[in-house]
Amino acid sequence: MKLVHTSVMKEEVLQFLAPPAGKSLLIDCTVGEGGHSEAFLQSFPDLRVVGVDADPTILQLARSRLRDFGDRFQGIEGWFDEFFSRYPLNERPDRVLFDLGVSSYHYERSGRGFSFLRDEPLDMRLGKTEGRTAMEIVNTAPLDELSVCFSRFGEERFAKRIARAIVEARVQTPIRTSKELADLIWDAVPAKYRYGRIHPATRCFQALRIVVNTELERLERGLEGAFNLLKVGGRIGVISFHSLEDRIVKHFFRKKGNISMKDTNMPIPKTEHKKIALPVTRKPIRPREEEVQNNPPSRSAKFRVIEKISEEG
């Protein structure tokens, strides 16, 4: 079995999410090819891992990779927010890991148009059968919707210009592949913008992927669901790769560390603050320079960890 993805910050993740002594449970919310799960299972013999992934193909790769661990690993197909909303297990987790990066597998082997460097059908669905494809969005969404998509979810400075080019081009012929879209974006932006630090299609492809898979909404629901089910004393760790994700994680962690509680027994309502979580990492952990050199996609990663100290309410 040939694996293509390198998991980010393995040592740091193992350090900050090391489980308590004795039998314990880790939920790997984005198991992918199983790199983080394998590291945990090798390092902590009493740990059981449940790996969740929306893509049945990559989940099967993880199952094959981890089969020697027997029933200490269980793979479950589905989105992590839906997994927590219908939680199928009889025990609450001690540790939860969200690695929000899209696996290299999806860029290199899925054939679903995630990469602007390949000529593949514009799909971009992480789960294979749900929701609108990227092809449907670029060929049917109104100009303003496309512009907002690229601006809000890709933070693309030429969002309106690119959206207009797409709308004009699709009148002549539908945009069907990742290469067609990438070439169109290349031609739409100013010449000096084409040779910057990143390819000019990078942000638009990110934006489409986020919208197709409703990633930010799922992250908000998934964090809430995970925290509610987490044992007191348990920890949640999140690896994010762009500012939109990190902003959600940072806000959620701060909120759980400072919950407002109104005391209605007082003549004048008094607002108190009850901490139900504490930050384990005061600032996000970043990959070491050596890791960035060996695994360039890790360069934008940020790792944050929070510990639950009491139940809400």
Query: Domain containing 143 — which CATH number?
Result: 1.10.150.170
Q: Residue 35's pLDDT is what?
A: 94
Last residue of a domain, one of 162, 189, 212: 212
Q: What distance in Å separates the CA atoms of residue 62 and residue 58, rounded to the nearest whole number? A: 7
Q: Residue 159's pLDDT is what?
A: 97
**Residues pairing with 260 in the sheet:** 273
Last residue of a domain, one of 212, 233, 263: 212
If asked whether residues 236 and 295 sit together in one domain, one would say yes
If asked whether residues 158 and 202 sit together in one domain, one would say yes
Q: Is residue 118 part of a domain?
A: no
If asked whether residues 22 and 73 sit together in one domain, one would say yes
If asked whether residues 175 and 295 sit together in one domain, one would say no
Q: Is residue 73 part of a domain?
A: yes
- Please say whether the dihedral angle defined by the alpha carbons of residues 253, 155, 210 and 197, taken in this order, is positive or negative: negative
Q: Residue 270's pLDDT is what?
A: 46
In tens digits, the chain (313 residues) has pLDDT values of: 566 678 899 999 999 999 999 999 999 999 999 999 999 999 999 999 999 999 999 999 999 999 999 999 999 999 999 999 999 999 999 999 999 988 887 888 788 898 998 999 999 998 866 789 999 999 999 999 999 999 999 999 999 999 999 999 999 999 999 999 999 999 999 988 888 778 999 999 999 999 999 999 999 999 999 999 999 999 999 999 999 999 999 999 999 987 544 433 444 444 455 789 999 998 999 999 999 999 888 899 999 999 999 997 6
Q: Is residue 276 part of a domain?
A: yes
If asked whether residues 257 and 273 sit together in one domain, one would say yes
If asked whether residues 178 and 241 sit together in one domain, one would say no
Chain Cα centroid distance, residue 56: 17
Q: Is residue 111 part of a domain?
A: no
If asked whether residues 264 and 184 sit together in one domain, one would say no
Last residue of a domain, one of 212, 242, 275: 212
If asked whether residues 192 and 271 sit together in one domain, one would say no
If asked whether residues 168 and 202 sit together in one domain, one would say yes
Q: What distance in Å separates the CA atoms of residue 230 and residue 212, rounded to the nearest whole number? A: 29
This prediction's pTM: 0.90
Find the CATH number of the domain harbouring 97.
3.40.50.150
Return left, alpha or beta for 100; rule: phi > 0 is left, psi -120 to 50 is alpha, else beta: alpha
CB atoms within 10 A of CB 296: 10
The tally of domains found in the chain comes to: 2
Range of the domain at 166: 128-212
If asked whether residues 59 and 141 sit together in one domain, one would say no
> Which residue has tokens 């919707």?
145
CA angle, 226 as apex, 18 and 58 as ends, to 5°? 80
Q: Is residue 115 part of a domain?
A: no
Nearest 10 degrees: Cα torsion 165, 102, 126, 97: -140
CA neighbours within 13 Å on the CB side: how many for 139? 16
If asked whether residues 71 and 26 sit together in one domain, one would say yes
Q: Is residue 259 part of a domain?
A: yes
If asked whether residues 224 and 239 sit together in one domain, one would say yes
* Residues 6+ away with beta carbon under 8 Å from 235: 16, 17, 94, 95, 96, 280, 305, 306, 307, 308
Q: Is residue 121 part of a domain?
A: no
Burial (CB count <10 Å: 0-12, 13-18, 19+), residue 147: buried
* Residues 6+ away with beta carbon under 8 Å from 15: none
DSSP for 97-149 reads: EEE-SPPHHHHHTS-SS--TTS--BS---SSSSSS--HHHHHHHS-HHHHHHI
Q: Do 254 and 304 meet the contact criterion of CB atoms below 8 Å apart? A: no
Q: Is residue 29 part of a domain?
A: yes
Q: What distance in Å separates the CA atoms of residue 223 and residue 305, rounded to the nearest whole number? A: 12
Query: What's the maximum distance between 2 C-alpha atoms anywhere in the chain?
Result: 69
- The residue among 12, 15, 6 whose CA lies nearest residue 44 is 15
